Structure 1
């Protein structure tokens, strides 16, 4: 048996193993499948990566028969129709930062030998707690369990394009019916109970004396729909919606009770947001869509805490990134 044959057999065996690396967020697996443009691209990246298992390692190589650490990612994403940088330092700055409990298929993972500092090698997450990379030590493209390398992980980046349009995950027998509408009404009612509650940035989730934007939405969905999105902020809730719910980037397709996510404030005029690449913007705020051009949210002490504000033709509309519900 040649070295390459042995590597192919051993790595395939790893892929078929039942080992599953579990992250935080209630013990759910890191990768979730969403019926969307982004997940379709992620699946394509994973397929391309698996097809290269056993190929030779060569420093700085970019394929098709041998690969360096960064060259493997560059080649795979190019095959999937996505242009990315071709060095580890550049890739480490590409896309957006991903926290460890939100790593998804197609994300780039970066490692160093001592688990800190600049990364020295990298791979692509393929789901089920595993990643693929071109290993200098094993002289080939191999599959590894992320749990075995978690202490060496120094960062993760998402370079896959953001979704466009509406993403849906229908439940059996459930269209946009009275049941879904009733949940939205209950969420709004639960949130309105906190009208006037003082605003506090980074408020504790242990009491309801003060709230920031994501604590308001957390309690509204927990009490109104019995859905626990965790104790994270607006960005964490957006990731929860993407991975477990339905969402849209079309402001006209929002429904009552949807969570609405916004980029940072850059001004009150529409022109202040011209030319901005919306999918690349970090999410900094979340509100509840009430219908009839109204939002339920909280954003500053000066504004009076939890309140109802207009939505369209205001800076809220110009800051809109996505909206949806976590179910």
Structure 2
């Protein structure tokens, strides 16, 4: 075993042990016992421990990594579920536009000419350094952020200081978190539907801005639109459906395309909580309905 592998295994082992002591929920989006400072330190430490790992397109780790997959893997180790593509990650979390405001743990994005869509990305670890899986160099490398200022497009902050919790209370079970998600969603019952509604308003919602808002208030970061949201979390089957799962649907029962056009939250007892058309935010019957027949994917982010 190499020194890097030993460091990585030791880091993960410590986090797993802590998780078991505090309730065992490492998959929860933001552990209540972990402060913002601790999370950023862990993310930076894990990212740095992966230096030298071979680059491979779309490889998800732990022995090889693609560009976005390095970030996905690293955040997963601290219990934060994010997207798995550069495009989805470029829209997740909070936007950081200035190079001077980038903080440890932020995702940083670049393109060869400094404009357009990002073509590679990494994790900023502080001290003007970031870690990324480089196709050109064939491995995970450490670079100076300032050396890439002309290629820098922006950053996204997935970890938020609002997640700080200095108490030593146990992490809530997933079932409790799912109930919290539903309760948060219920407070918006009747809020009007508006296609393309801004993520910054609660006066109107479209289906994915509603799920993004509800999960954000529960401490879970989701991308903005339904297709991006379908890339995060764990895929589950309909027979294993649980309260809090996200249901992704195609346009109609008879549609030949499985292109996702709608997202809803499974509320348990054969119901979904979502928003559409004239009712706005509402409950709908799910079992045996067209809503159920339209489902093409189910993801668990809790």
| Bigger radius of gyration among the two | 1
TM-score w.r.t. structure 2 length?
0.44
- In the superposition, the TM-score normalised over structure 1's length comes to 0.41
